[in-house]
Every structure is written in C-alpha cells, then in structure tokens.
Structure 1
Amino acid sequence: MAQKLIIIGAGMATGRALEALIDANPDAYDVTLFNAEPRGNYNRIMLSPVLSGDKTYAEIVTHDADWYAQRGVACRFGEKIAAIDPAAKTVTSETGDVLSYDKLMFGTGSTPFIIPLPGHDLEGVIAYRDLEDTERMMGMGEGNKVVVIGGGLLGLEAAAGMAARGADVTVVHIMGHLMERQLDAAAGYLLREALIKKGITVLCGANSKEIVGEGGQVRALMLEDGTELPCDLLVMAVGIRPNVALAKSTGLAVGRGIHVDDQMVTSDPDILAVGECVEHQGAVFGLVAPLYDQAKVAAKTLLGEADAFVQKELSTKLKVTGCDLFSAGDFAEGEGREDIVFRDPARGVYRRLVIEGGALIGAVMYGDTADSNWFFGLIRDKTDITPMRDTLIFGPAFQGGAPLDPLAAVAALPRDAEICGCNGICKGTIVDAINGGANDLNAVRACTTASASCGSCTGLVEQVLASTLGDAFQAPVSTPMCKCTTMTHEDVRRMIKSQRLTSMPAVWQACNWLTPDGCHSCRPALNYYLLADWPLEYRDDPQSRFINERKHANIQKDGTFSVVPRMWGGITTPDELRAIADAAEKYNVPTVKVTGGQRIDLLGVKGEDLPAIWSDLNAAGMVSGHAYSKGLRTVKTCVGTDHCRFGTQDSTGLGIKLEKILWGSWTPHKLKLGVSGCPRNCAEATCKDIGVVCVDSGYQISIGGAAGMDVKETELLLQVATEQEAIDVIRAVTQLYRETGKYLDRMYKWMGKLGLDWITEQVSDPTIRAELIERFELSQSIYRKDPWADHAKTRAPSYKPVANLTLEAAE
C-alpha cells in the first residue's frame, strides 16, 4: 500500500521533486499538494517575460491540471496549512480538514521583504513575487508613474516590463551601482546607462524616507534629501526571506531557513524541505540550480535511496532588459589579486577577470557572455591559467594562438563543462542524449532539461547539437504559431495565400488545427492575416481582436478608458482644442495629457460615456487616433519651411498627407512615423518605424527604428527627389510590411528577418511598387473608417470580455 505524502507549496523545487519521485516510482506515494496560491507549478523565472508581454501566463505553466490528474496528485490550491502535529503526523488546513501523512515535505519558498517605511501598508505598494503582482504591474501603462525600490534583478525586470508598456518608471537603489552582488561598478554603470537609454530613470545612492499617501492610496515616495517621486504604484524589490513561520510553529529547527541535512531531511526524520525556505550548512538559496539539485536528492530520500546535496560553485548568467550579464566567483578587489579588463565601448562589451595565484577566481561580463561557461569552468576547476594568461581575456576561441570557429570551441569543451547552469547539465549529458536519438532542441530539452528553465543557454545547447551531429544537424525551425498547430506563422500565412483560404474555418480545416475554434493566441493573428491578404473576401471579426481594439480605446488599470482623438501631423485648431476641453469637462475626465506623439490624451473616461464622447468629438470634426491599434498611430512632424529658418521642405504638410493616406490601415504591429524638415531631426524621425528626413535635394526615407525596450536607429531605405515619390515609397513599404510581416512583429523585426536589401529591391522596382500601392489602396477603400463614428450612432457595446482575450498584446 502506498504511503501518504503531503507537500506544502507548489513551487519550482517541489515541482521538480514530484517529477523525479513519480518518474522513479509512480506508486510509492499517494500525494496531496497544498498551495497558498490558487494555482499549481509555474516557472517564476518567466514572470518577467509575462510582464513585458513576451509570454503569456499559459506559456510558463510547468504543471497544468491534466499533469496532476494523470499522476494522481490530489491538488488543494488556494488552501493554506494552518497547523502541523508532528507527533500525530497530521496537518490541519485552514478549512479545518485534518489529514494524516507518512512523509511531509516543506516547499514554502520565501516571502518578499517589505521595508517598514512609514506608509508601506498603503494601497498601491506591492512586492514582485507572484502572478497577482505581475498582473498588477501589467496594468501600468502610458500616463502612469511607477517607482521601483531596488536595483537588483527583480527590480530591474519589473521596471523594464512596465516601461515597455509605456509607464514612466523610476528605479531607486540605495547602493552606489546596480546589481552590486552580481556586478562590479563598471558593469553596473554600463547597465545603468542602458536603462536610461530605454527611458527608465535610475537613482543610485538614494535612500528612501517615507511613502506618501492620499486617501489610503500611494501618491509618492519621499527620499532622505526631500525629493518627492510621484507614483501610481510603488514596487518593492529589495530581497526575499525564507518563509519559515509554519516550520517554526511546528517545532522544527530553524535559523535563517529550515535546517536540513545532506538528504534534505529536517530535524524531524519524517519531514523534508526543499527550495528557498531551507538552510543547508549555513547557506540559503535563491537561484534555481541548487533548488533543482535539492529536489532530486529529496526524491531519492523519499524512495529510500542514497544521495546527498552538495553546494556547488555558482555562476549568474542573466538577461536584464535585453542586456546580457554574467558573473561568477569572487570579483572583489584584494591584495595579491590582479585584474584583466577588456572594454569595447562601440559594441557595449565589458569583461573583467580576477586572477589570484595563477588561477581565475572571478569574472564579470557585460554585453557579450558567449564564453561565460568556459570561464566558469576555469573558476570551478581552479585551472592553472598561466599558459594562456596573455590571451585569456579573449576567451576559448583564441587559445592556441589563432581564432577558432565557434563550433570548434564548443567541440573542444570537456564533457564535464556545464552548459545549463539552472539544471546543472554538463556537455557530456547532452552529448549522450544526442547520441541516444535526441536530434533537436526540444528532444534534448525533454531528455535532459537543458535550457528548460531560464533559456539563456539555448544557443549553447544548439551549438552542442551542431558540433555533435555535424551535417545531420538541422537548424531549429521557428516556434509554432500556438498550441493549436505545429505550423509557424510563416507556414500558416503561406497556406492562406497559396490555397486561397479566406475564412478561419477554412484555415483550421486546411491546416489540421488541433483546437476546433482556435485560441486567444491564434485568432487575432489569423484575423489579421485574412484581413490583409483577402480584403474583398474576408470581413473583420471584432471578437478576434484584443480588448482595446474591440472597445476602440485603451483600457486603464481602474477599468476606465483612454481616448485619443487624431490630430493630423500633430496640427490642431482652436475649435478642436475647445471641443477637447468641453468633452473633458462634460465627462469629468480626470487627466488630460499631451502624448509623445503630439496628440492629446483624455484619460479616465468611463466605459458608458465612450459613445457620447466619441459623438461630441466627431461633431467637432475629429476621428479616432487609433492609439490602441495594431495600425498607424501617429505621424510626428516639425514645423518645416512654414516657420523654421532651417527647414528644407514642408515637413508638416507631408506628415499630414501621409497620416491621411495611412490612417486606418491595419498592420502587424503599431506603426509610427516621423517627418523632420531638416537633418536637425526635431521630429525624431530616425527612431520611428518609418522616418523621413528632409534635405535640400529631397527626402531621405528610413525604416526600422524603435525607441522602446529595444532602441533602434532607422536604416536608409531610399532617397527620392519629390514629395509624391516619398509618399509612394512609404505606401509601398507599408503594404509590403502588411503582406509579409509576422503578426506582432514591429517593423525592425520584420526588416531583420527579410533584410533591408530585399525590401529596398521590392519598393525600388516601379512595377512592384505600383502593385503594392494598388493593393494598399484597395484595402483602404474597404476598411478605412472611423470606428468611433460607427459606434457613437448606437449603444456602446457592453463590456463582456471574451475568454482569454481581455488583455492587450505586448506593445
């Protein structure tokens, strides 16, 4: 008869322990799993991509309901354990149920540390720990001010995620440089500069004094020097502490964490503990790699098998807001130590190696971390680096006097070289799996768990595949469009075009969709592809759009909406301004803000007032600014030759013409334009999706700029002599983007996939250009309309979110 195992906490450590236990002997225990959160195991490392919009929660779930059900795990989610009686070997849940156990495992994790500042209990002061915190931060967007206390990894990821959604974010860090535990001052400085370029304000050496509130809600953070930082949300990301309250009340030995021995057994022989809640030989743990090691040992202990948890030298390889970072060992300054430093400011690369007694003892890398595993191996193995001292800083490819091919460098790594730090997977394990038939990334991941956690080693795993399989290696295919299909976005769109699929049911049938009616991921993409490819045959499906596009306004964190009327080229009139002012007063709009795109935003409009405010603005001659759309947002202009003594062309006039031509066109992602009247570039045209810089000889048209999470300068597409040529080129390149772009790819990503040369070739060809313009005008003739005017004539659509489609996609 199976023994009874109760697990407290459905986190990553207990989840891995369950996997190991059930894989080894599925009948050994009847398992009951309690979790304070109302859900099972998900990858907390990936909460940051969820916040930034790169992933959905569904994509980071490790164990779904089916997984637990198939393995007979009794799940009691959203239910805490109130008490444990180790003598009677029972637990009492908060509902009063008493359950007996043979073995008990703690996986209570950690709790975020909240600085006990005055005002820390105000509404709007949160930590960054779970999905609820993440969802709260996902509500922060344009018009919101956020303060993040803490310049460590979590704080910076929180700041970056909210900044990507348009929030005005300030990071407050008490130390002199960011991530001081992982980085030295030089690397911390580079990281700070990168964050500032992304629009995040960073205050180092700043001490918080008080959280200021108003009506029970946070209003600002006050610093020791009297500076007041206004905020709608304050996020504390200043560290975690092992969650030991329940263990302590049970009578277990507790220090900073729950004391465990090498077998992960607590002071009670029938109670184990794993994860961030434990203390082993004086150490507590926050990285996932040692937690997974603990889980494997705990599973063997439960099965009566011998194993021991051993603390290992750890490295930290991170990606913070798009910046690659690595640190390992001891990189503090000290007597008898020497530094080797490499700086390449143009590439944004920094390396610092610390050597003592002929051995590498510490390394810090910023910008280029490709060789991090090799350096970590030297630190871990205490390798004598004397013979390669002169070339050490350049990495493994330069040892032996000549640069090596990257695959040759990977092939030269020993079998015990660690490839996946999270899961402790070495090269030999991966090679054995490949030789056993795992011939692609997914198969290697399934066999070994390499690259299955944070994913930062994915490229290195692929290199091991390539070096092991040789010519038999096939480069990985793109990610499937969603869980409904094995086909990529590109495959599906080729099918839509080649087989003339003009409806969603036709796509589902022809492409063997696994889910009858699609899902929240594929329906918006299919709706766009069909809309762009078959404008005559297909009709837009509003229910396959995100909530903002269905409501024709941006939903705010409190359920109100943001309304942005269009101002052609940023130009307005006294009558329009009066209409906006009248609307703001009439509908009690709490905030009226000038946007970065030279428009006026009415923030805080109630859902029931949308039709009426649209009607009033329509009556004044104004239409939707589509500030919510995957389409043209704004065309930003400078005053050009009308007023500026430096202007070379009529930039304002061109901007207005372009906006009136492109207005209402749906595109794979949002589209922003800028037209500057001279190379002084006052309209910031060189960081837009499409930018025009006017010069004496005509118009320089550039594409592929960005000024959000990724800062990109545009690249020159064409220079033309006349205004009409400029308009034609921009219409053509917009249609080319519409026809060949992947849904939710900004123009710079599209350009990176297809290549600027090919795009230039297409729009330069007179015949192709004319065909692109013809198809663009056909689409505009059918779909360009003011949604406000349509909906203002009727009752506002009731706000009933469609399942899984209530959140706006990543901006």
Structure 2
Amino acid sequence: MKKQRLVLAGNGMAGIRCIEEILKLNRQRFEIVIFGSEPHPNYNRILLSSVLQGEASLDDITLNSKDWYDKHGIILYTGETVIQIDTDQQRVITDRKRTLSYDKLIVATGSSPHILPIPGADKEGVYGFRTIEDCQALMSMAEHYQKAAVIGAGLLGLEAAVGLQHLGMDVSVIHHSAGIMQKQLDQMASRLLQTELERKGLTFLLEKDTVSISGTSRADGICFKDGSSLKADLIVMAAGVRPNIQLAVSAGIAVNRGIIVNDYMQTSEPNVYAVGECAEHNGTVYGLAAPLYEQGKALAKHICGVPCERYQGAAPSAALKIAGIDVWSAGKVHEDECTTSIKIYDEQTGIYKNALFEDDKLAGVILFGDTRDKQRFLDSLLKQRDISIVKKQIIEPEKASTLFESMPSSETICQCNSVTKGAIENAMHTKGLTTVEEIKHCTKASGSCGGCKPLVEDLLRYMTSSEYTEPGGTPSFCGCTDFTEDDIIAELQRKPFSSLEEAMSQLGWKTKNGCPKCGPAIQYYLEMLQPGFVQLELPAEDSCILIPQMYGGCTNAEQLRNIANIIEAYNIPDISITHGQRLKLSGIRPEDLPNIKKELKMPVCSNEHRRTLQSVNACTCGQNRSIQQLAAQIERHLEMLSMPAYISISLSCETDCTDAAIQDFGAIQTQAGWDIYIGGVRGTHARSGALFCVTDNADSTADMIKGLIQYYRETAHYLESVHQWIDRLGIVHIREVLFEEDLRTHLLESLQTDFSLIQNPPIQAGAHKKG
C-alpha cells in the first residue's frame, strides 16, 4: 500500500515527540517530511537557560541528531519555513519556494518571545531568549559588555538573569508586578525567592513599567513610566511568549490565542492538526513539556487510527531551573474564599510549603527550598486526594530510602517522558547505569524540562546505597527476560509474531519455552493484539471439569434430565453447584470428554488454562425475569473471551441483594434504571465497589458493562485484577473513556470482532492448534 505523506511544520520538541510516537505505532504508514526554521536538528529549548548558566553545553541539549532522521527515513529541511498552507489543494509552500503536497499536516510552529511594542525595541542589543542563536548571542555579548537588564521576572526571565550573572554581568530584573513569578507563587514564596536571588547578586526593580529603550542605533538604557531610567548595555525581553499562529490565520484555520484544536488535536480544517505551544485546547495554551507530549500521544494515535482516549488537558506546574534554588508549584497557587490551606515555614532551613484545598481535595501546591516530594504532591493533585492524606505528606515528608522503598514500580518519576521508577530500576540493573546522564540517555528521564533531575539523583543515590534492597527476583517481567511487562507489550505491538516460540526467540528469551509465569502472559497479549490468534496446545489433564452453560442461571427440565442421564452413563463422580449458580461436573475421564460435550447439546465452560468469564450471576428475587434476561444477554456476548484475570459479574435487585456491589462488575436494578458498580472485592476483606454510572435501561446497561470489560481486556496487565486496574488507571479516566460515545462504540465493535474470531478462529500458519 502506498504510504501517505505526513508533513510537519516545525522541528521543535512537541512536533518531534509526536513523530516519535507515530513511529512507535506504525513505522510504515507515512512518508515523513519535516520543515524547521532553525538550522539545527531537534534540541531541548527548555534547557537553553542551563546552557547560559554553565550547567549544560549546546551538545548536551540536542535531542535528535541528524542520524536519527536518516535512520527513520525522515526528510528534514533545516533553515526552511512553511509560509503558506493551501488547504484546498492540500499542499504547503516554503520561504524557499518549495511546494509539497500532504495527506496529513501537523502544525507545530511553537511560540515567539513577546517583544514589548515600545520605542527602541528594535535597536541593536535588544534580544529575546528563545533559540540557540539567542543563547549564543547573549554569551558573546557578555564578553564585551557589563550591564544587563532583563524585562520580566517569570520563569524564563529569572533563569536568563542568573545565566547572564553567571557570565559575569551586572544584572537588573525589571518587573511590572509587586512580586516575582506571581503567576506560579504566592507572596511568601515570591519574597523568599527574591531574597535568595538577591544573595546571588541580582537587583530587582519591581512595579516598573517600561515605556522606551534609549540609545541611538544601539540600546544603552531603559526608561520607565514613573520618569526614572536604568543604564544597560544588553537588554533581554522575557515578558512572556505569543503562539505562532500566522500560518494558520493566512490559511483560514480557526484561531483564538492559539490554533483551536479538539481533543484529538484536529484543527478546523480536514487533515490538519496542531500541537505544542501554538495550539489552544479548551481555551488553554500550554507551555510545559508534559502536557505537550501528552498532546503528541493523542495526536499520534488518532492519526494512525489507533483507539485512544481524548486529550483532557493538564494541571499547570512550574519548576525553576536555577542551581541551588529549589522552587516548584502546581495547580492553584492563590487563596480565595473557596480554599483552605496548610502552610509550613522553617525559617532556619528556608523551607516553605503551602498546600491549597477546595472541598477538602488538593487543589494546588507550592514548594520552596525542598522539592523532593513534588512527584508525590503532583500525583495527589491529579488524583484529587483528600486533605487527611496530603496533610501527612506535607507535615511528615519521607526520607529518600523510605519514599523509594514504598513507591510502586509503576509510579512516574519523569512526567514529561512518562518514565516510571520501575523503568529506571530495570535500566540500571540490565545496562549497568551509574550516572544521571546515563539514565537520561537510556530512559529520557530528566531529558526534557529537567525538573525531575533531583528525584532521579535521589533514586540513583538510594539504589547504590546499602539501604537499597533489590526487589524479589529481577526488576524484569520474570527471570526468562530482561524486559519489563510494558516493554514486552510494546515489542509485541511493533511486530505481529505468528507464534509464542517466535516471540520468545526474537525477543531474546533466556529460557527456550519460558516459564509458567511468562508463557500464559505472552499468549494472552498475543491474543489481545492479534484477535483470533490460535491458542497453544493445552497439556493433557488426569481428569476434566465441565460446567454446562445456563445463561442467566436459568435452565429447564429437559436440560436437567439430560445432564442427569450423562452423569449416570459416564459415572461422573463429583457434582456440585458453583457460586456462579451453575452445575459443576468434576472427575470426567479425558477420553469421555468429547462425547459428553456432544451429548450435552449445551455450551460448556471446561477446565482450559485460559481465563474466561465463567458466568454472570443473576438475582432470583421476585417474578421479574428482566435481571436473568440481561445476565443471559451479557453472558452470550462474553463467553470464551480471554480475560487478563478471572472476573466476576453479578446483577441484583435493590430489594435485599447486595452481591452485585462486591463483584468486579455489578449492576443493581432500581426503580429509575440501573446502578453500575466496578472494582468490588470478595473474600475475607470484602469491600464494595465504586458507583461507576447510572443507566436508563437494560440495553444501555449491557453496553456499558461490555464496554468496560473490553477496555479492561485491552489495557489491563496479565493477572491484574479489576480493582488493581482501576487503581492504576483511575476511575475518572475510565469514565472519560466509556462516557465518550464514539470510544464506547469502538470498544463494543472490537469486542464483537474478538468474539466472532473466537467462534470462528482463522487458521494461522506456524501456530499451534487448540487442543
């Protein structure tokens, strides 16, 4: 099939991350052409201030070398800008008069420094701080001039000011507000930060409005609205950025502050997407790496035709990248009549913490002087944790050893690149990593905004200390491989292996046929990724079990009479009633099994190794058959489908039945409709599940339960129980997926496809036939 042409306008971080995600999903789908205005491959713009401060070199911040583009067959035009989009003809025109057609176009033009519209702003010696060229110019200027002024005391302005001060310049910071970083910090944190920066040698001129820049052809100072002035040889404008939307405006694409996109990053024009700082989603333009990378993931999946959840936006967070000063905030930072707060200030250590709550749920955090717990607070913010939990976190911070010992492997260390603690552990164990720089190159942790670098350093220090205890076994999925479970799934997605043996061989399994842990897991993932994948031959059993299928727990005299005759004819020794309201025939001789199945004239559940739905329990209270009918309907659509783990489903009435509330999936019929519960736990530590939603009728209830189960099948790890799955993904996220009609419809279609292929499995060359 001929490849479609994908054109990317912009060679920055957001656009290239999007391309990386597309390559992961389908390397062969697109011919990729990229236009970048700058004469460089992709680099980390966020770390330019670290270069200015002497913490990194220009080589250190390169993300993708020219070899990376060549390796993936990507055509890169550096120093060339797309200046026109013809949406009717689906083509772009560049400033070098190159015309190129596209099937899909991604606009990732980023943003530009806001240059104040004042007299003298165009004079020599006035710079923005956005590109490698800007950084090089500032370093060169510092060799010849002494006095610098930075207009703007936000993140970028302060980082630039410290960088210029590091280069030996006398630096003044001008800001129109009474406090620095006023959008990210409260008054207390702002004052503490200003004091620390003044100790480093910076001078602050607050509540100053710049009206002009003095000098002839070259700037020599700044004039303020109050009549005062300041001498300066070098002036840096850091008064915010503006999304680059001119390309979209000229093409008739809808814009506001940025290019307006939907939840899949589509613009108002067909086949045109936008991502990064030029895009506006639900009225917000993001400038941080983590949300922009999440946008890229959503775009990549949509453009590749892969089912995905919608991009839902992100909580704003900010970290100041100045050596020796730890400042971080996320979410809401200013108190109002709707908030309460917990504040701690240790004057001796200079540590300040402020947690804001709305309705006793965490709404925002400010950390100054000690930001090691920021990942835990961000996790609490995203999960809307209760004040009682956060209060303990803020009052009793854990030391690194305790923190990492209790931290699950699935917890994210680097938000920008979605790198977990387990991924870093695995990389260190399998590849012998010993430095933060090696971890960054291997896993990308701390490779974007750099805000997680202290946490990575702490984890490295902990893992190389005597306090570290290696997890049982190895950090990989099992002893047969060095891959983690997520690594295995990613590898199986990349290549459609035709058999379990081929997958293990190609992935370098240490044991030829795997083990009881990894073999069934790989088999399950192959089934899920390749619907209809033929099962492995099952080992012979000494005796067999059959459970005649009675949909909804209902049977009749004819079925019972036939079962009784078979029990007597084949001398079946053990008959019992299961907790799922079914008859269980145990101790069947293997040689009798085929004839018994034939004579039963009923579907059966047997003791195969595959985890499938055994039954849907139905309440038998009263004369209303609707519950049994709904149970039968769900069961008929799910039987024999592989599940990550054994699951339980129960339907109840509201009169005196509570069984549905403690199952993996349950529904209780009410006078108004049905209440659906998920994530219940049975056994000695039984607990009720969470109310997931309310439906109007039996059909919508069946669709919601089936959609939930298919999403569980597609996203759960092997042997991961439903309540563990919910804890990992979050019930809010699962609701967002299932409440979206298009996504729910897609899940139901996928479920039907999987069910059809189970009923009529294709014959696959090289695969074992089912026994």
TM-score normalised by length of structure 2: 0.57
Residues 104-123 of structure 1 mapped to structure 2, 5 A cutoff? 104-123=105-124
CA RMSD in angstroms, aligned pairs only: 2.6
Q: How many Å separate the matches in 1 of 2:129 and 2:100?
A: 32
SS of 2:141's partner is: coil
The equivalences for 1:520-559 within 5 A come to none
Residue identity matched to 2:50: P
- Give me the whole-angstrom Cα distance separating, in 1, the residues matched to 2:57 and 2:289: 21
Equivalents in 2 of 1:316, 1:165: separation in Å? 25
CA distance in 2, matches of 1:435, 1:304: 36
Q: Go from structure 1 to structure 2 and tell me whether the alpha carbon gap of 1:44 and 1:388 turns closer, same or farther (over 3 Å shift).
A: closer
Counting only pairs closer than 5 Å after superposition, residues 251-400 of structure 1 correspond to structure 2 as 251-307=252-308, 308-320=310-322, 322-335=324-337, 337-386=339-388, 389=391, 391-397=392-398
Q: Which of structures 1 and 2 has the bigger CA Rg? A: 2
* CA distance in 1: counterparts of 2:400 and 2:262, whole angstroms: 42
AA at the equivalent of 2:451: S
Matched to 2:444, the amino acid is T
The worse-fitting range, judged by mean Cα deviation, of 41-50 and 311-320 is 311-320
State the partner residue of 2:189. Answer: 187
* Contact 2:223–2:230 under 8 Å retained in 1: yes
Q: Are 1:75 and 2:69 an aligned pair? A: no
The residue identity in structure 1 corresponding to 2:415 is: G
Change (3 A) 1:30 1:387: closer
Q: CA 1:442–1:135 in structure 2 vs 1: closer, same or farther (change >3 Å)?
A: closer
- Cα pair distance change 1:320/1:54, threshold 3 Å: closer
Give SS of 1:34's match: strand
1:129 CA drift (Å): 0.9
Match in the other structure for 1:196: 198
Name the structure 2 match of 1:803: none
Q: Deviations over 1:165-220 (max 9, x none)?
A: 11111100011111011111111111111111111111111111221122x11111
Residue by residue, what CA displacement relative to the aligned partner does 1:97-126 show, whole Å, maximum 9, x if unpaired? 211111111110011111111211212211
In structure 1, which of residues 450, 458, 478 is the aligned counterpart of residue 453 of structure 2?
A: 458
* Distance across 2 between alignment mates of 1:99 and 1:359: 51
Structure 2 residue matching 1:23: 3-state secondary structure? helix
For residues 388 and 80 of structure 1, the distance between their equivalents in structure 2, rounded to whole angstroms, comes to: 48
Aligned counterpart in structure 2 of residue 167 of structure 1, from 166, 169, 176: 169
Inter-CA distance 414–208: structure 2 relative to 1 (3 Å threshold)? same
Pick closer, same or farther for the CA change 1:159–1:443 going to 2, 3 Å.
Answer: closer
Cα 1:408–1:258 shift into 2, 3 Å: same
Q: Does 1:132 align with 2:133?
A: yes
Q: Distance in 2 between matches of 1:304 and 1:291?
A: 20
Match of 2:621 in 1: none
Does the CA contact (< 8 Å) of 1:160 and 1:321 recur in 2? no
- Determine the structure 1 residue equivalent to 2:94: 93
Task: Name the SS for the 2:318 alignment partner.
Answer: strand
SS in 2 for 1:320: coil
Deviation at residue 425 of structure 1 after TM alignment: 3.7
Q: CA deviation at 1:257?
A: 1.0
Of 381, 404, 411, which aligns to 2:405?
411
1:322 CA drift (Å): 3.1
Q: Which residue of 1 aligns with 2:569?
A: none
Alpha-carbon distance between aligned partners in 2 of 1:197 and 1:362, rounded to the nearest angstrom: 28
Q: State the alpha-carbon separation in 2 of the partners of residues 170 and 278 from structure 1.
A: 33
Q: Within 1, Cα distance between the matches of 2:220 and 2:169?
A: 15
Following TM superposition, by how much is the alpha carbon of 1:340 offset from its aligned partner in structure 2, in angstroms?
A: 2.6
1:337 Cα offset (Å): 3.2
Structure-2 separation of matches of 1:321 and 1:406:
20
1:795 aligns with none
8 Å CA contact retained: 2:43, 2:62: yes
Instruction: Tell me the alpha carbon deviations over residues 517-537 of structure 1, each in whole angstroms, 9 at most, x when there is no partner.
Output: xxxxxxxxxxxxxxxxxxxxx
Offset at residue 446 of structure 1 (A) = 5.4
Deviation at 1:26, TM superposition (A): 2.5
Measured in 1, the distance between the counterparts of 2:429 and 2:401 equals: 18
Structure 2 CA distance for aligned equivalents of residues 225 and 26 of structure 1? 60
Cα shift at 1:380 = 2.1
Q: Is 380-389 or 226-235 further displaced after alignment? A: 380-389
SS of the residue corresponding to residue 59 of structure 1 reads coil
TM-score by length of 1: 0.54
Query: Any idea what the Cα deviations from partners look like across 1:747-794, whole Å, max 9, x if unmatched?
Result: xxxxxxxxxxxxxxxxxxxxxxxxxxxxxxxxxxxxxxxxxxxxxxxx
Post-superposition offset of 1:306? 2.0
Aligned to 1:154, the other structure's residue is in SS state helix
Cα distance, 1:411 vs structure 2: 2.5
Partner of 2:617: none
What residue identity is the alignment partner of 2:171?
V
Distance in 2 separating the partners of 1:141 and 1:409: 43
Which residue of 1 is the match for residue 25 of structure 2?
24
Deviations 1:723-743 (A, max 9, x none): xxxxxxxxxxxxxxxxxxxxx
Structure 1 residues 414 and 318: CA distance shift in structure 2, 3 A: farther
Pick closer, same or farther for the CA change 1:410–1:115 going to 2, 3 Å: same
Label 1:184 to 1:104 Cα distance change in 2 as closer, same or farther (>3 A).
same
Change (3 A) 1:388 1:244: closer
Question: Which stretches in structure 2 are left out of the alignment for 5+ residues?
Answer: 471-771
> Structure 2 vs 1, CA of residues 439 and 189 (structure 1 numbering), >3 Å: closer, same or farther?
same
State the aligned residue count: 466
User: Deviation of residue 468 (structure 1)?
Assistant: 7.4
Letter in 1 for 2:407: L
User: Which residue among 414, 435, 447 is the counterpart of 1:420?
Assistant: 414
Please give the per-residue CA displacement for 1:332-359, whole angstroms capped at 9, x wherever unaligned.
Answer: 1222533332222332222222234333
Q: Distance in 1 between matches of 2:141 and 2:161?
A: 11
Q: Aligned in 2, Cα 1:68/1:387: closer, same or farther, shift over 3 Å?
A: closer
Q: CA offset at residue 93 of structure 1?
A: 1.5
User: How far, CA to CA, are the matches of 1:157 and 1:8 in structure 2?
Assistant: 28
Relative distance call for 1:321 and 1:137 in structure 2 (3 A) is farther
Tell me, in whole angstroms, the C-alpha distance in 1 between the residues paired with 2:441 and 2:300.
19
Amino acid at match of 1:128: F
Residues in 2 aligned to 1:316 and 1:43: alpha-carbon distance in whole angstroms: 17
Structure 1: distance between partners of 2:180 and 2:249: 34
- SS of 1:408's equivalent? helix
Quote the offset at 1:68 in angstroms.
1.3
Amino acid at match of 1:450: A
The answer for the alignment partner of 1:209 in structure 2 is 211
Contact in 2 for aligned 1:359/1:386 (Cα 8 Å): no
Offset of 1:318 from its aligned partner? 2.7
Give the drift of 1:438.
7.9
